[in-house]
Structure 1
Amino acid sequence: MRNRVFNRNLKITQLGKSGRIDEAIKVFSQMTQKNTVTYNSMISAYAKNGRIVDARHLFDEMPQRNLVSWNSMISGYLHNDKVGEAYNIFVKMPQRDLFSWTLMITCYTRNGKLQKARELFNLLPDKHDTVCWNAMIAGYAKKGMFDEAKRLFDEMPVKDLVSWNSMLAGYTQNGELHLGLQLFEGMAERNVVSWNLIVDGFVQVGDLDSAWKFFKKIPEPNVVSWVTMLSGFARNGRITEAQDLFEQMPNRNVVSWNAMIAAYLQDCQIDKAVQLFSEMPERDSASWTTMINGYVRVGKLDEARQLLHQMPYRNISAQTAMISGYVQNKRMDEATQIFNQMATRDVVCWNTMIAGYAQCGKMTEAQCLFNQMTNKDLVSWNTMITGYAHAGQMDKALKVFKDMGKRNTVSWNSLIAGFSHNGLYLDALRSFMMMGRERKRPDQSTFACGLSACANIAALQIGEQLHHLIVKSGYINDLFVSNALITMYAKCGRVFNAELVFQGIKNVDVVSWNSLIAGHALNGNGKEAIKLFEAMLIQGVAPDQVTFIGVLSACSHGGLVSRGLELFKNIIERYKIEPLAEHYACMVDLLGRAGKLEEAFEMVLEMRIKATAGIWGALLGAARVHWNLELGKYAAEKLLELEPHKASNYVLLSNIHAEAGRWSEVQRVRKLMEERRTEKQPGYSWIEVENQVHSFLSGDPEQTRIAEICCILKTLTAEMRNTSCVYDVKSSLFDIL
C-alpha cells in the first residue's frame, strides 16, 4: 500500500510538471489513501499550472501540514507572481527553515525589491549559510548596484564558488564585461559555470569572436557551454556556424535541439526546422511551442493548428502562440475558440486576446475580457488605453488611465499618443506636463508624441523647450526623436532649424529625408524640396511612398507641372511603387492649379484605386479656382457620397447650385442636410502666448475675456473695411463654411 501511494504521488508530480493538470487531478481524486506528501504534490501541480486558487483551497483543506506544505504554498504563490500572498503565508508559518527564508529573499531579489529582501536578510537567524548571501549579491548585481554587491561579497564570512559566480553573473549579464573579466582572472578556482558566464557575457553584447575564443579554452565544456555558443551564433544569423557546432556536440539534450530549431525558424528555414523536429529523440513543451511559433511566424496557421492538436499534452505557451497567430491575422473567431477551450490561462494569454479585440476595434469584447481578469498587469491596462485611443474613444481611455493603480512610462505614452492621434493636441501637451509632475521620466516615444502635438498646433516655443529637455535627457541622438524635431520645426515655419537638426543626425534614414522634404514643401520651397530629393538619391537612399507625397506636394505648391508629371511617372516605372490616393490627390491638385482641369479629371477616372475624399476635394478646389461649375458640382456630389455626415459638404454643394441659379436644388440639398442630421463642427483655434497655448472654441460663452476679444475683433473688422479690401463675391460662394 505504501509503495502504491508513493507511486501515485510521484505520478501527480510528473503530470504537474508536464502540464497535464487534468490527469493529475484525476489521479488525486481516485486515491483513497492520501498522505501529506500527496497533498503537497497536488499543491505544487496546481501552482505550476497557474491554478493557484485551487492550490490554496487544497492547502486550507489539508488535515495536517508539515514544513514542506508551507514551503510548497509559498513556492506556488511565487511561481504565479503573487509575492504579497507568499509573504502572508511566510508570516503565518509556525516555524521556518533555511529554505523558507531563501525562498522569500530570492523572490524579492529576483523581482528587484531589494530593500524588502535586505530587511528579511537582516532578520535571518543564521547567517553562516552562503545561499541567502549569494541571493542578495545576485540581486544587487542584477540591478547594476555593483558597489552594494561587492560590499556584501567582501563581508561574507565564507565564500564559495557560487558566491564568486554570483558576482561574475552580475557583471556579465549587465554588460560590465571589463569588471567581469577582472573578477574572472582573480578567481582562485573556476568551474564550468564560470567559463559559461564569460562566454554568455560576450554573446549578450554580440562579440561572438571573443565568445568563441573563450569557449575553446573551456577545460571540459558541458552541454550548457555548447548551447550558449550555439544560441549566440543562431541569434546573430550565423546559421552555418550554429549548424556545424550542433553536429559537433558530443551530447545533445532537448535544449540544444530546441536552440537549433529556433535558429532555423529565425532564418525562415521552416523545412529544415520541421525535419529536425521530426528527428528529435524526445520533445518537451518548448519543442512543440517553438515549432508552433515558427509556423505562425511564416503565416502557416493551419499547420500550426494541426501541430497543436498533435501535442501529447497542451500547455499555455503553445495555445497562446496559436492565439497570437490568429490575432495577428485578425481571425478572432478562431482565436476565441482556442481561448474558450483553455482550462488554465495566464496573464499573457489574456493580454493577447484583449490586444486582438482592441486591434480589430472590438472594444466591447476587449472590455468584457478585461473585466473578467483577476490578475491584470500593466500590459493589460495599457492595452485597453491604446485600444480605446485607436477607436477614438478618448473619454474611456482617460477613465482607464485614471483607474490604474500604478502607471509606467508606457501608460503615459499611450495616453499622450492617443490624444495626438485623435487631434486633441492640447490635451496631449497637458498630459506631457502632468507626467513630469508625477516624476515619470519621458522616453523617446514621449518626446516624439509631444513634438508631434507641437507641430500640429505650431506651438514653437513649447517645441523649443522640449528640444532643450531632449538634449538634457540624452535623447538628442535618438533617430526617432530627431525626425520628430525636424517635422516640428518645419511645421512651425522654421525650416532652417529643421535643416540644422537634419545635419546633426549621424545616420539619417528615409524618414529623416522625408521629414525635411515635406517641411520644405509645406513652406512653399518647392525647388529646395526637389534638390533634397535629388541629394537623397545621390546618397543612395531609396525613396518610399511617403517621399513622393512630399515631392509631389512640393511640385504642386511650386507650380512645377512637368517635373511633377515626370516624378509621378517614375513612381511606377522606375521605383516600382504602387501610387497611393495621396499621390493622386497631389497630381490632381498640381494639374488643377495649372488650369489643366480636363487632364486632372481624366486622371481621376483612370485611377487604379478608388477615389478618396482627398482626391475629390483637390478636384473641387481646382474647379472653384478656375470657375468650372459643372465639374465643381460633380466633384462635390462625389465628396458627399464619401462623407454623407459632413455638414460642410452639403453647404458647399448648396452654394454651387445657388451660383448656378438652381434654387430647387438648393432647397433639396438643404432638406437632405436636415434629414441626415449632420452636425457642423464648431471652429477651434489656438494661440501661443508666453509659453502657454490658449484654445478658442467658436461660440463658447465660457471663454475668459470674451467681451474684450469681441471688441478687438470688431475694431479690426472696421479697420479692414476702411482699407478698401476687395472681396470676390463669386469666389465666396465656393468657400467651405
Structure 2
Amino acid sequence: MNSTLKSVGERGSLVFNQNVKLTQLARSGRLEEAVKIFDGMTNRNTVTYNSMISAYAKNGRIAEARRLFDRMPFRNLVSWNTMIAGYSHNECVQEASELFERMPKRDVFSWTLMISCYVRNGELEKARCLFDRMPGEKSSVCYNAMISGYAKNRRFEDAIRLLNEMPYRDLVSWNSVLAGYTQNELMGLALRFFDDMPERDVVSWNLMVDGFVRIGDMGTALEYFRRIPCPNVVSWVTMLNGYCRSGRIIEARRIFDQMPERNVVSRNAMIAGYVQSLQIEEASRLFLEMPERNSVTWTTMINGFVRVGRLNDARALLDRMPFKNVAAQTAMINGYVQGNRMDDAHQLFEQISTRDAVCWNTMISAYAQCGRMDEALLLFNKMPKKDVVSWNTMIAGYAQEGRMDEAVGIFEQISKRNTVSWNSIISGFTQNGFYTEALQYFVLMRKEGRKPDWSSFACGLSACANLAALQVGKQFHQLLLKSGHVHDTFAGNALIAMYARCGRISRASQVFDEMGSLDLVSWNSLIAGYALNGYGTEAISLFQEMETNGVRPDEITFVSVLSACNHAGMIDEGLDLFNTISRAYLLKPVAEHYACVVDLLGRAGRLEEAFKLVQGMPIEATAGIWGALLGACRIYKNPELGNFAAEKLFELEPYKTSNYVLLSNIHAEAGKWDEVERVRVLMKERGVQKQRGCSWIEIKNKVCAFSSDDSTQPRTVEVCTVLETLNAQMRNTGLMAGSCQIECG
C-alpha cells in the first residue's frame, strides 16, 4: 500500500514538474521545446492540456490549439476559458463567440474575456449587448473593460455614463477614462478630468505625463513628472522614451543617469534612443554593460546594426543570442532585404520554426518590392493566418507591376478591408492610368462606409486631374472641406494639381495661398500649373518667390520652370535658367531638362542649335529628347533631321505608333510620298499596331469613357456614320492632307 501511494505521488510530482516546465517554455516563446515535452509525457492531466493550448495560442498557432482542445479527454471551465482567451489573443472574434455560446458553464472570467475580446476588436455594440446579458452582479473588471473600450474609441459620454452607474468605482475605472483622453491626445479634456478625479495614484500621473509626451509637449510632461508624489520606474521610463522619440538624446541620458533604480526596461529604452539617433557605438557600449538582457535588448541592438548597414555585426549578434526569437530574426531579414541580399533573407526565413505575421509580411513585402510577385504569391498562399497587411501588400505589389487584374482579384478576396486596402487599389489604378476605375472605386469605398483619408483624396484628385474632370474635382474639394483633410499638405497639393490641369489656374493659386503649410511639392505643383496653362512670367515670378522663402528648388522645379518658358516662348529666359542649374544650384541636368531645352529651341526654329545640344550632352539621349526634336522637325519641315531623330526613336520605342505617324506626316507635308509608303511598310514589318483612341467627358458630374474599338457603346453606328460624312465633306473641300483621314475603328 505504501509503495503504491509512493508511486502515485512520484508520478504526480513528475507531472507537476513537467507542467511547470511546459508553462515556462511557453511563456518564453520556446514552443518547439514545449511540444517535445508534451509529446513525451506518458501522463497528462487537464493542467497539461491547458498549458499546451495556451502555448500554441500565444505563439499564433491557434488551429493547433483548437485541435488539442477538441482532443481533450476531459475539459474543465479553465480549458474553455483558455481556448477563448487564445482566440481573443489571435483576434479570432467569431470563433471565440461561437465557443462562448457553446460553453456548458460560465463564470465571471468567461464573460469578461468575451466582452474584452469584442472591445479589442472595436465591436462595442456586441460587447455592450453581452455586458447587459451578464447574469448576477457584474464585477468591476467587466465594468472597466467596457469603460476602457468606450474611452479608447472616443465615446466618452458612454464611458462616463457607465462610470457613474458603477456600484463601486475604483481608481482603475477613473484611469480607464483618463487613458482614453490621453491616448487620443485630447489633453485639454484630460486635464479637466484629471482635476475632477476624487483620488489619483501613480498610474494617473503617468498617464498625464504620457499624454503630454504623445503630443510632443516635453516641457509640460516634465512639469507633471516632477509633481508625481512617488514616481516609479514607469514614470522615469516614460520621460526617457519621450526625450528619445523627440531626438533629445542628451536630456534622455540625463534622465537615465538620474534614475534611482534602473531595470532592463529602462536600459532598453536608452539603447533604443541611441539606435534612433544612429549613435550605435553608444548603444553597443550600454548593451555590453547591462547586467541582464532580454529578447527586446538583443532585438533592439540587432536592429541598430541593421539601420546603419552593419549587417555582419547584426548577424554575429543574432548568432550569439541565447535564444533567437522571431522579432530578432525578422529584424535581420529586414536588414538583408534592405541590402538586396534576398537569398540570405530567404535562407534565414526558412530557418525560423515559429513565424509570426510580421515575419511573413516582411518576406512577402520584400519579394513584392523587388518585383518578384510569383515568389511573393507562393509565400502568401503558404501563410497560415493572413492579416490585412498581407492582403494589402499583395495588392500594392501587383499594382506596382501594372498587373491590375491580379490586384483586383486579391482585393475582392479580402473579407475585412481597411482604408489602406482601398487606398492600395485606388492608387494602383491611378498609377497605371486607369483613372475612371480609380474614381469608381473611390465611390465604392464610400458606399461601403469606409471613411477616406488624405491618401484616398490625393489619389482621387490625381485621377480628376488626369481626366480634366473639373466638376468631379470640385465635388472632391467639397468632401475635403467636410472631412477636415483640406488642411493636409498632400491633399492640398493634389487640389492645386487638379485645378491647374483643368485650366483653373486662379483657383489653384487660391488653394496654394490658403494652405496652412507649404512644402516643395506645393511650390512645384503651382509652378507646373502655370507652365501647363502658358503663364511663363507667373511661373518664373513664383520660382523667384520660392527662393525668397528659403525653399531650395529640385530637379522637378526646373522641369516645370523650363516647361513654362517653353510654352510661353521665353527662349532667353529658359536658356539662362538651364545654365544656372549646375552653376548656381549644384544640380546635374537630367534628361527632362534637356528635353525642355531641345523643345524650346525647336519651337523657335533653332533646329541646328537643338541638334548640337543633343550631340554634346553628357547623358544618353532619351525618347523624350528625340521626340522633342522630331516634333520641331514637323513644325519647321525638316525631313532630313526628322529621319535621323525618328530612327533614334524607333530604337528606343519600336512599337510606339505615334512616332511613325509623326514621321509619315513630315514626309507627307513635304510631298515625299515614297517616304510615306516606306514608313507604312516599316510599321507592318515591325508589327506596330494602331493604338485605339480613348476619350472621356463629364456628363451630370459623372465621368464617361469611350474607346474607338468599343462596339458596346450606345449609338456607335450612328456616331461612325456622322464621322464618315464629315470625312467625305473635308475631302471635298480640300481640308485634308493626302495621307490624313478620320477613322472610326
Q: TM-score of the superposition, structure 2-length normalised? A: 0.92
Letter in 1 for 2:171: L
Counterparts of 1:689 and 1:69 in 2: how far apart (Å)? 63
Equivalent position SS for 1:361: coil
Matches within 5 A, 1:3-22: 3-22=13-32
1:20–1:314 Cα contact (<8 Å) kept? no
Letter in 1 for 2:646: A
Q: Distance in 2 between matches of 1:721 and 1:647?
A: 24
In structure 2, C-alpha distance between the alignment counterparts of 1:226 and 1:586, rounded to whole Å: 59
> Which segment is superposed worse, 466-475 or 144-153?
466-475
What is the aligned counterpart of 2:441 among 409, 427, 431?
431
| 1: CA distance, partners of 2:701 / 2:725 | 27
Match of 1:582 among 588, 592, 599: 592
* Equivalent-residue separation in structure 2 for 1:688 and 1:160 (angstroms): 61
* Residue in structure 2 matched with residue 638 of structure 1 by the alignment: 648
Deviation at 1:19, TM superposition (A): 1.8
The match for 1:333 is: 343
The answer to whether the Cα contact below 8 Å between 1:19 and 1:313 also exists between their aligned partners in 2 is: no
Q: How far apart are 1:237 and its partner, in Å?
A: 1.3
AA of the residue aligned to 1:704: P
Higher deviation after alignment, 540-549 or 426-435 = 426-435
- Correspondence 1:664-683 to 2 at 5 A: 673-683=683-693
Cα gap change, 1:525/1:381 in structure 2, threshold over 3 Å: closer, same or farther?
same
Partner of 2:530: 520
Matches within 5 A, 1:306-455: 306-455=316-465
Alpha-carbon distance in 2 for matches of 1:377, 1:420: 25
Q: Match for 2:518 among 481, 489, 508?
A: 508
Superposed displacement of residue 519, structure 1:
1.0
Q: CA deviation at 1:102?
A: 2.0
Q: 1:50 aligned to 54, 60, 78, which one?
A: 60
Asked whether the 8 Å contact 1:657–1:665 carries over to 2, the reply is: yes
Match of 1:596 in 2: 606
1:130 matched to 2:140? yes
1-structure distance, mates of 2:668, 2:198: 96
Aligned match of 1:259: 269
Q: Which amino acid aligns with 1:475?
A: H
1:684 equivalent in structure 2:
694
Cross-structure match for 1:706 = 716
Residues 178 and 437 of structure 1: CA distance in aligned 2, closer, same or farther (over 3 Å):
closer
User: In structure 1, how many angstroms separate the alpha carbons of the residues matched to 2:186 and 2:505?
Assistant: 42
1 CA distance for matches of 2:738 and 2:552? 48
Letter in 2 for 1:219: P
From the superposition, tell whether residues 535 and 681 of structure 1 become closer, same or farther in structure 2 (CA, over 3 Å): same
Measured after TM superposition, the shift of residue 240 of structure 1 is: 0.8
Q: Residues of 2 paired with 1:544 and 1:517: CA distance? A: 12
Find out whether 1:150 has 2:160 as its counterpart. yes
Amino acid at match of 2:62: I
Q: Distance in 1 between matches of 2:537 and 2:665?
A: 37
1:226–1:146 distance in 2 versus 1, CA, 3 Å? same
Determine if contact 1:195/1:214 at 8 Å carries over to the other structure.
Answer: yes
| Deviation, structure 1 residue 118 | 1.6
Q: For residues 690 and 58 of structure 1, do their structure 2 counterparts lie closer, same or farther at Cα, with a shift above 3 Å needed?
A: closer
Q: CA deviation at 1:676?
A: 4.1
The aligned counterpart of 1:164 is 174
Q: Does 1:218 align with 2:241?
A: no
More off after superposition, 476-485 vs 407-416: 407-416
SS in 2 for 1:476: helix
- 2:3 aligned partner: none
Q: Note the C-alpha offset of 1:5.
A: 3.5
Contact between 1:588 and 1:604, CA under 8 Å: does it hold in 2? yes
8 Å Cα contact 2:637-2:666 kept in structure 1: no
Residue 319 of structure 1: CA displacement?
A: 2.2
**Separation of aligned partners in 2, 1:137 and 1:284:** 34
Quick check: 437-446 or 232-241, which moved more?
437-446
Q: Deviations over 1:52-107 (max 9, x none)?
A: 22222333333333333222222222222222222333333333332222222222
Moved more, 623-632 or 70-79: 623-632
Residue 46 and residue 647 in structure 1: after superposition, are their counterparts in 2 closer, same or farther (change >3 A)?
same
Letter of the structure 2 residue corresponding to residue 313 of structure 1: F
The match for 2:467 is 457
Count of aligned pairs between the two proteins: 732
Structure 1: runs of 5 or more not aligned? none
CA shift for structure 1 position 244: 0.5
Q: Which of 598, 606, 614 does residue 624 from structure 2 map onto?
A: 614
What does 1:75-86 correspond to in 2, within 5 Å? 75-86=85-96
Summarize deviations over 1:395-421 as a string: whole Å, max 9, x none.
222222223323333222222222221
1:318, 1:52 → 2: CA distance?
22
RMSD: 2.7
Separation (CA, whole Å) in 1 of partners of 2:584 and 2:698? 45
Pairwise CA distance, 1:716 = 5.1
Residue of structure 2 equivalent to 1:100: 110
Structure 1 range deviating more: 329-338 or 263-272: 329-338
Q: In the TM superposition, what whole-angstrom CA distance separates every residue of 1:559-600 from its partner, at most 9, and x where no partner exists? A: 222222221222112212232221121121122223333332
Alignment of 1:538 with 2:559, yes or no, is: no
- The one-letter code matched in structure 2 to 1:323 is I
Contact 1:128/1:157, CA 8 A, preserved across alignment: no
Segments of structure 2 that go 5 or more residues without pairing to the other structure are: 1-9
Q: Is the 8 A contact 2:637 2:670 kept in 1?
A: no
Using a 3 Å threshold, how does the CA distance of structure 1 residues 220 and 3 change in structure 2: closer, same or farther?
Answer: farther
**CA 1:179–1:447 in structure 2 vs 1: closer, same or farther (change >3 Å)?**
closer
What whole-Å deviation, never above 9, does each CA across 1:168-191 have from its counterpart, x for those lacking one?
222222223333333333334322
Give the secondary-structure state (helix, strand or coil) at the position aligned to 2:485. coil
**Structure 2 Cα separation of the partners of residues 188 and 433 of structure 1:** 49
Identity of aligned residues (%): 62
What TM-score do the two structures reach when normalised by structure 1?
0.93
